[in-house]
Amino acid sequence: MGSREFPYRSGVWRFRELIHPLVKDKEIVSRSEGDTTLYSHKKVIQYTGIENIFMKHEGENPTGSFKDRGMTAGISEAKRLGMNLVACASTGNTSASMAAYASMAGMRSIVFIPEGEIAFGKLSQAMAYGAQVFQVSGNFDDAMSLVQKSSRELGIYLLNSINPWRVEGQKSIMFELIQQLNWSSPDWVVVPAGNLGNTSAFGKAFDELEKLELIEEIPRIASIQATGADPFYRTWKEKKEELKPVKDPETIATAIKIGNPVSWKKALRTIKLTNGIVEEVTDQEIMDAKAVIDSSGIGCEPASAASVAGAKKLVESGMIDKKERVVCIITGNILKDPDATINYHLGKLKGISPRFPNNPVVIEASLDAVRNVI
């Protein structure tokens, strides 16, 4: 923190030796990602009952999600290898990030997205940044298996989080967090979980920090899934060593609407290493938590609120103690999915009755009308 020089002003490349020591300056494609804020707010403290709860806002990254941290590492590696065509499957944020970084590097990019299932903010970014957009008929898991086949057969460089450089870049969320806490560990890190790249990356980050003696204790990681898209939760709950995919995942949090997460094995390693846990939260819990985060002025997209909803649930079940220090990862920006936000406040989301609605008031264009409603 503090350096204004390229590439060290980036919250990823500041930790270059722990992320990609071999990459040269001229190969690095960076938009000064990271350096995201650690927030605390009394509304969230009251809502969860946790006195020491913080939110690290990864939605403050250049394209509005944590994906930029893994993407700067992945695209830089693609450049190092001389690639000029990259691809990913995505529930939206990875595609937005990859499209931007590929265009900055002068590469072509193709995104495979499930047709009609990603939030408009994200689709608009992928189109605008210049990616070729393939709308796959099917869900994210179908798009994921198609992009894996395509990259194997057609020599396209794959940039999903099964690409190890993506995971390397995402470790920096934890490096930066520990630095922000003056090189001390929180008791818990709570993270929304979909394809499980982040959960995997966090475990690897803490393993390395401990081996380097930069931390004394490894925080416990709580991975939070949406109830309708919870294969990893089921694996953990049933103490299995295999994952049974959820065939038709369903949740309002489209970013984590994933039935067959690719990184579940690495993520399970993280949960074991950190003495962590896996929890699930309903769409109602996600959207109410989002309304609290939003109305505190911080704001996020639905999937991100799974972290705060999860922390609240874990306090209520006694797993997290009210006095412990808890950091929730806010993964994406509030502008990613305005439809979900507006429909929540208007009470138009199927199966969800908003606990914290904020309805617009229609008034006549007169001072009296204003006087009557304020």
Give per-residue burial for 319-328: e unless 16+ CB within 10 Å, then b.
Answer: ebeeebbbbb
In angstroms, the CA 33 to CA 97 distance is 11
Please report whether residue 91 would count as binding ligand F0G according to CB under 6 A.
yes
Stretch of 126-134, 173-181, 188-196, 358-366 contacting ligand F0G, by CB under 6 A: 188-196
Nearest distance, CB of residue 146 and ligand F0G, angstroms: 14
Please report whether residue 276 would count as binding ligand F0G according to CB under 6 A.
no
Stretch of 5-13, 21-29, 296-304, 365-373 contacting ligand F0G, by CB under 6 A: 296-304
Nearest distance, CB of residue 88 and ligand F0G, angstroms: 7
Distances 156 to 90, 114, 149, 152, 165 between C-alpha atoms, Å = 16, 19, 10, 7, 16
Q: Which is nearer to ligand F0G, 67 or 312 (CB)?
A: 67
> How big is the chain, counted in residues?
374
The string of DSSP codes covering 157-185 is EE-STTSHHHHHHHTHHHHHHHHHTTS--
Among 10, 30, 109, 195, binds ligand F0G (CB under 6 A): 195
Please report whether residue 255 would count as binding ligand F0G according to CB under 6 A.
yes
Q: 355 - beta bridge partners? A: none
Q: Which is nearer to ligand F0G, 161 or 274 (CB)?
A: 161
CB 219 within 8 A of CB 187: yes
Please report whether residue 301 would count as binding ligand F0G according to CB under 6 A.
yes
In angstroms, the CA 121 to CA 324 distance is 36
Q: What is the arrangement of strands in the sheet containing 108-114, beginning at the earlier edge strand?
A: 132-136, 108-114, 85-89, 157-158
| HSE, side-chain direction, 13 A CA sphere, residue 25 | 5
CB neighbours of residue 362 within 10 Å: 7
Please report whether residue 64 would count as binding ligand F0G according to CB under 6 A.
no
Please report whether residue 341 would count as binding ligand F0G according to CB under 6 A.
no
In angstroms, the CA 317 to CA 338 distance is 32
In angstroms, the CA 122 to CA 340 distance is 13
Please report whether residue 93 would count as binding ligand F0G according to CB under 6 A.
yes
Nearest distance, CB of residue 54 and ligand F0G, angstroms: 17
Q: Which is nearer to ligand F0G, 310 or 332 (CB)?
A: 332
Stretch of 79-87, 196-204, 282-290, 317-325 contacting ligand F0G, by CB under 6 A: 196-204
Among 100, 193, 281, 309, binds ligand F0G (CB under 6 A): 193
Please report whether residue 198 would count as binding ligand F0G according to CB under 6 A.
yes
Q: Which is nearer to ligand F0G, 139 or 198 (CB)?
A: 198
- Contact residues toward ligand F0G (CB under 6 A) are 65, 67, 90-94, 161, 192-199, 255-256, 301, 303-304, 331-332
